Structure 1
Amino acid sequence: MPGDHASAELLAAMSSLLLSVRDAPLRFETDGVEHVRSIQSGIVDQLSDYILPRLVQLDAPLLAVVGGSTGAGKSTLVNSLVRERVTESGVLRPTTRSPVLVHHPDDAEWFRPDRILPDLPRTTEAGNQTYGLRLASTTNIPKGLAILDAPDVDSIDKGNRDLATQLLAAADLWLFVTSAARYADQVPWDHLRHAAERSTSVAVVLDRTSDEALMEVRGHLARMMTSRGLSDSPLFTVPECSLDADGLLPVEAVSSMIGWLQELAADPDARQMVVHRTLDGAVRQLVLRTHDVADAMDAQIEIAQTLDGAVEGPYRSVLEDVSARTADGTLLRGEILATWREFVGTGELLSSVEEKVSRIRDRFVGGMTGKRTRSTELVEATESALRSLLTERAEATAEQVSRSWGTTDSGRAVLDAHPGLTRAAPDFRVRAERIVHDWRQGVDELVRAQGADKRMSGTFLALGAQGVAAALMVVMLARDADPTTTDSTVAAGRKLLDAVFGAETVDELLDSVHTDLELRSAALFESEQLRFLTAVESPDSLKTHQAAVRESARRAEYARHADFLNGETTS
């Protein structure tokens, strides 16, 4: 039999099971996911409320939870078993907010918050004004036993039903109360079926039954219990009778039940047998249900892969598009082209490169006087075009991805939770302006660094670095364009740069500045992509969670066999 606490291996396995199941993401709306979420919540609750606290304190008092149908007389039965009015029945009963746990005064320490149901605050106040588990002590209950009066399992109030399920899952022993009028109802039998599946120790009480119907109803109920795997469970009957002045049943009506509970409380081995059976069944059932959670994650992974794919493709394409549009001449129109033409001159091009250099140099000199020059206007026009390109593509890509996500229930749920994803980030334009400005400064620095070469004309570069940088940006924008369709002034700009730096160096400079722009744009769009990717769990993360759930279930089953089935517990 188990001793006063379980082995370290079993405790570690149960703790790992709790963490892995609790952290398993089931956020996508898949078929049947609500049922699996309910399983997940039930596993976490039973581990937190019962299994782990009980494994730590196997010799704690036996907790018998009294549950059952509406109107079955549970509160009256609890009061009658204790022979004291400790809980209220009827419409004034406070079980919605304060279920009542009755214990011997010497056992009070066992029911401190971390013993069982740690999430329920403790209170000693009667009534329905204070939420929590109401603790009531009395010497009329034997040491080693506690009785918890739970809400109705078929209550019209969902909070009541959920609390009843939670309390029953925290029980060492179920004292399930029904009546002649309600014993065949479906909801109570659903709970009893679950109890049988996980080998929970159960006693059934047939309450409020007339003498005429007692034999027939008891016989039918016993057959129902046998057919549902509860043939070994005690069946008590309480005849319909009048209550005394304190609202208690006559002692002879409940004497057999009182005697059974007192014997159980007085026999440590018998108590441990009940605890052993309930714990072993609970762990075995939780392991099976944990596999259900892990299996359900297959659908979660599939959806995550679909949503991820809907993000990665468009954002990969937008980078390719930006790379192409900043080199194929697409941007060389409108303001940029007009400013460029004014920059290089719209008249007949000078016949020699030397004359062109001289002519443009004269234009650069104006910049040294503090006046606004065409080179400045050209730089500003280029930056504006790049900002517009990046912003327009960010908006279009966000719209494309959100439209794709919106075709699935799971994707729509994510978009509803993150409505900002349908557009680019609010600060995207500002960040685009920053990266374009930083890129342009990088071009300036590159030109100045290249101009520092002693083979170059220091005077020319000192006076014309900004203009040369502007020309380099414009020529870059048409680097891969069809020469037959490109404005002739762009070709003249390339000849100018060749004359200043040499053709091979110009090729290197064009590659360098374009690559720099690509890298900066990639970082910008990566942050946009992450807005989508961080809104959902990644497929790899889900697979890791799934593997952890399955491994924790395997460890829990192994530890269960080592402790319960082989009797290897620590005393």
Structure 2
Amino acid sequence: MLTALVRLHDALQAVRLPLDVPEVEARRTTLTQLVDQLEDYVLPRQMSLDAPLLAVVGGSTGAGKSTLVNTLVGRRVTASGLLRPTTRSPVLVHHPDDAQWFGQDRLLPDLVRVDHSTDDRHSLQLVASDTVPAGLAILDAPDVDSVEEDNRRLAAQLLAAGDLWLFVTSAARYSDQVPWEYLKRAAERSTAVAIVLDRTPADAVETVAAHLARMLASRGLKDSPLFTVNEAAIDEEGLLPAREVADVRAWLESLADDSDARSAVVRQTLDGTVRTLARQAHVVADAVAEQVVSLDGLRQSATTAYDDAEEAAVAACSDGSLLRGEVLGRWRELVGTGELLRSLEQRAGRIRDRLVSAVKGTAQQADRVSVALESALELMVLDQAERGATAAYDAWSALDHGKPLLAADPGLGRASTDLRRRAEAEVRAWQATVAELVKAEGPERRTARYLAYGVRGLSVTLIVLALSDAVPTHEEDSGVGAGRGLLEAVYGSELTRDLVSRARADLERRVRALLAGERDRYLGLLEGLAVPDDAAQQVRAAARRVDDRRYEQARPDQDLLT
């Protein structure tokens, strides 16, 4: 059982519920409570079943809890008075011989042990007193309905760490809603509870006690002992007359003296708590599964937005849409009406002078085409990045759990501020790669055609063909046909097709990488939320192991051979 509980603790501790989906706050609270209860009570108690019985004194504001504790102990050990709240830091009173059971590595390990009075909620004051019987410890907790939220949270934590609740109320407060919410939880997980009706006038004790008993029975607590403490004067030490708490003290002492009875209380509360933990762990698993589904939805919407932008950008890399405006004008200047191509078809010896004249203007014209193409490609990438960012931002903005993620980075609605610089670098790198392709195929083809047009001119021509592969070559207006004819005159048709394919593939790779980087701004946020896909399965498996151990313990005489 201990191993199963440790695995459940580890599985729950690994759970993250970062998205603000409906009811997530309640699930986060449940998760915190489960982890805390495992650390504060279940694991320490499972490892130390023989440790003293811990009775946590809790209840309503002004019910007289601290006065009751002081009177049971026989001296002032915890603050009492009219100022509310009186108990801010918990006080644990134990027999001196039981001190070793309450060290820092035992019960409530996150509370620092101190030996003096303090208001620090993160401290646990230990008080050794021989008036408390060995085998019993009494823990004074803050009010469950305190006006201070931290006190309410601490009270819940302490009650969850007890083997027995000594729940204190009064004639004025016994029907209040908040205390009954706690008692309902106690009944659901079979926690041992005793009720103390305190500060009740003698003439009202019988009536109030009868009504309270009926309320307890109707809420599954009919077997819980009910003690009454009459309203009485408090002495100089802040104690009630000993006779007023004699029944409570006698009952606690009987539990301390009877190891079987004490063990029965411990096992009742521990088993009920473990059963409830295993059941609620499935609620947490459901919440984790919902987080995974919601994360997948966010991931899919961002991926779809950028996939659409990426496909549009890749299409623009070959459909000729970039051969417009200034790019088209510069390209036409370079290829003219096909005169250069026709001149290259003449015998080299006869037109050598004309080739020299043509080459003089080709490099400069090619540079102008190159600059125009670079600008067009950069603007296209930026435009598609903006498109993807807008679509992803709108999709996340439509979801309540997506809005907080966007708030963490307002720039997500636009393309990255450094995208233009990166796009410029990639386009230039691509142009350099194309030039290397031309050079690599050039040494064996240093003909008059190659020399006349040069690496620069041939590179620009190859770039234009890669960007306009879907444009029919017979469309004279675009000059694509003239460009293809030029490359085929230099390289041949088969190698020209290969060069165009390689150049276009390299450009597409670079464009996809740029937009993938933009998409990763969104996906990176989701990865940072650290919600493993198998977290829900891990919690469920751990909870089932705990249930299996419980069933085995409930059947100690089972036939191991069957």
- Normalising by structure 1, we get a TM-score of 0.89
Question: Aligned to 2:110, what secondary structure does the other structure show?
Answer: coil
Partner residue of 2:517? Answer: 527
Amino acid at match of 2:456: Q
Distance 1:463 1:345, change over 3 A: closer
Partner residue of 2:128? Answer: 137
Distance 1:144 1:94, change over 3 A: farther
- Normalising by structure 2, we get a TM-score of 0.90
Residue correspondences, number: 554
Matched, 1:469 2:459: yes
Alpha-carbon distance in structure 1 between the residues aligned to 2:302 and 2:60: 52
Alpha-carbon distance in structure 2 between the residues aligned to 1:26 and 1:567: 42
Partner residue of 1:31? Answer: 22
Alpha-carbon distance in structure 2 between the residues aligned to 1:462 and 1:141: 107
Distance 1:120 1:436, change over 3 A: farther
How far is the alpha carbon of 1:567 from its aligned partner? 9.0
Task: Tell me, yes or no, if the aligned pair for 2:59 and 2:65 is still in contact at 8 Å.
Answer: yes
How far is the alpha carbon of 1:229 from its aligned partner? 1.6
Alpha-carbon distance in structure 1 between the residues aligned to 2:499 and 2:222: 88
Alpha-carbon distance in structure 1 between the residues aligned to 2:392 and 2:62: 55
Choose between structure 1 and 2 for higher RCO, CA contacts under 8 A separated by at least 6 residues: 1
How far is the alpha carbon of 1:72 from its aligned partner? 0.3
After alignment, is 243-252 or 421-430 more displaced?
421-430
Question: Aligned to 2:55, what secondary structure does the other structure show?
Answer: strand
Distance 1:459 1:202, change over 3 A: same
Alpha-carbon distance in structure 1 between the residues aligned to 2:474 and 2:345: 25
Question: Aligned to 2:142, what secondary structure does the other structure show?
Answer: strand
Amino acid at match of 2:394: R
After alignment, is 189-198 or 158-167 more displaced?
158-167
Distance 1:86 1:232, change over 3 A: same
Partner residue of 1:546? Answer: 536
How far is the alpha carbon of 1:471 from its aligned partner? 1.6
How far is the alpha carbon of 1:169 from its aligned partner? 0.8
Matched, 1:240 2:220: no
Q: 1:257 aligns with which of 237, 244, 248?
A: 248
Amino acid at match of 1:389: M
Alpha-carbon distance in structure 1 between the residues aligned to 2:427 and 2:411: 24
Q: Which runs of 5+ in 1 are unaligned?
A: 1-9
Matched, 1:509 2:486: no
Partner residue of 1:434? Answer: 425
Alpha-carbon displacement from aligned partner over 1:314-365 (angstroms, at most 9, x marks no partner): 2222221111111111111233223323333579555344469977876667
Q: 1:215-294 counterparts in 2 under 5 A?
A: 215-294=206-285
Task: Tell me, yes or no, if the aligned pair for 1:350 and 1:356 is still in contact at 8 Å.
Answer: no
Task: Tell me, yes or no, if the aligned pair for 1:344 and 1:360 is still in contact at 8 Å.
Answer: no
Amino acid at match of 1:436: V
Alpha-carbon distance in structure 1 between the residues aligned to 2:96 and 2:488: 97
Alpha-carbon distance in structure 2 between the residues aligned to 1:15 and 1:458: 81
Distance 1:347 1:460, change over 3 A: closer
Q: 1:27-106 counterparts in 2 under 5 A?
A: 27-90=18-81, 97-106=88-97
Matched, 1:447 2:433: no
Question: Aligned to 2:197, what secondary structure does the other structure show?
Answer: strand
How far is the alpha carbon of 1:190 from its aligned partner? 1.1
Alpha-carbon distance in structure 2 between the residues aligned to 1:89 and 1:497: 98
Alpha-carbon distance in structure 1 between the residues aligned to 2:221 and 2:158: 20
Task: Tell me, yes or no, if the aligned pair for 1:97 and 1:131 is still in contact at 8 Å.
Answer: no
Task: Tell me, yes or no, if the aligned pair for 1:405 and 1:411 is still in contact at 8 Å.
Answer: yes
Partner residue of 2:142? Answer: 151
Partner residue of 1:209? Answer: 200
After alignment, is 220-229 or 412-421 more displaced?
412-421
Task: Tell me, yes or no, if the aligned pair for 1:364 and 1:373 is still in contact at 8 Å.
Answer: no
Alpha-carbon distance in structure 2 between the residues aligned to 1:363 and 1:466: 14
Amino acid at match of 1:179: S
Distance 1:474 1:455, change over 3 A: closer
Amino acid at match of 1:309: Q
How far is the alpha carbon of 1:394 from its aligned partner? 0.7
Matched, 1:392 2:383: yes
Question: Aligned to 1:151, what secondary structure does the other structure show?
Answer: coil
Alpha-carbon displacement from aligned partner over 1:250-276 (angstroms, at most 9, x marks no partner): 111112222222232233333222211
Alpha-carbon distance in structure 2 between the residues aligned to 1:362 and 1:356: 16
Task: Tell me, yes or no, if the aligned pair for 2:330 and 2:365 is still in contact at 8 Å.
Answer: yes
Task: Tell me, yes or no, if the aligned pair for 1:80 and 1:248 is still in contact at 8 Å.
Answer: yes
Partner residue of 2:485? Answer: 495
Amino acid at match of 1:545: A
Distance 1:467 1:112, change over 3 A: farther
Alpha-carbon distance in structure 1 between the residues aligned to 2:86 and 2:3: 34
Partner residue of 1:425? Answer: 416
Distance 1:447 1:537, change over 3 A: same
Task: Tell me, yes or no, if the aligned pair for 1:103 and 1:143 is still in contact at 8 Å.
Answer: yes
Amino acid at match of 1:387: E
Partner residue of 2:300? Answer: 309
Alpha-carbon displacement from aligned partner over 1:437-462 (angstroms, at most 9, x marks no partner): 3222222222222224x355499469
How far is the alpha carbon of 1:196 from its aligned partner? 0.8
How far is the alpha carbon of 1:463 from its aligned partner? 8.8
Partner residue of 1:321? Answer: 312
Partner residue of 1:7? Answer: none
How far is the alpha carbon of 1:278 from its aligned partner? 0.8
After alignment, is 317-326 or 455-464 more displaced?
455-464
How far is the alpha carbon of 1:199 from its aligned partner? 0.6
Alpha-carbon distance in structure 2 between the residues aligned to 1:431 and 1:483: 33
How far is the alpha carbon of 1:505 from its aligned partner? 0.7
How far is the alpha carbon of 1:97 from its aligned partner? 4.7
Amino acid at match of 2:526: V
Matched, 1:122 2:122: no
Question: Aligned to 1:128, what secondary structure does the other structure show?
Answer: coil
Partner residue of 2:549? Answer: 559
Partner residue of 1:6? Answer: none
Amino acid at match of 1:134: Q
Alpha-carbon distance in structure 2 between the residues aligned to 1:361 and 1:145: 108
**Identity of paired residues, percent?**
48
Alpha-carbon distance in structure 1 between the residues aligned to 2:160 and 2:347: 89
Alpha-carbon distance in structure 2 between the residues aligned to 1:352 and 1:463: 11
Alpha-carbon displacement from aligned partner over 1:291-321 (angstroms, at most 9, x marks no partner): 2222344543443343233222222222211
Amino acid at match of 1:235: L
Alpha-carbon distance in structure 2 between the residues aligned to 1:275 and 1:109: 18
How far is the alpha carbon of 1:491 from its aligned partner? 2.1
Alpha-carbon distance in structure 1 between the residues aligned to 2:457 and 2:224: 95
How far is the alpha carbon of 1:111 from its aligned partner? 2.2
Alpha-carbon distance in structure 1 between the residues aligned to 2:163 and 2:555: 18
Alpha-carbon distance in structure 2 between the residues aligned to 1:136 and 1:539: 44
After alignment, is 260-269 or 189-198 more displaced?
260-269
| CA-atom RMSD in angstroms | 3.0
Alpha-carbon distance in structure 2 between the residues aligned to 1:204 and 1:125: 29
Task: Tell me, yes or no, if the aligned pair for 2:199 and 2:232 is still in contact at 8 Å.
Answer: yes
Question: Aligned to 1:534, what secondary structure does the other structure show?
Answer: helix
Q: 2:367 aligns with which of 376, 400, 404?
A: 376
Question: Aligned to 1:525, what secondary structure does the other structure show?
Answer: helix
Amino acid at match of 1:502: G
Alpha-carbon distance in structure 2 between the residues aligned to 1:437 and 1:378: 13
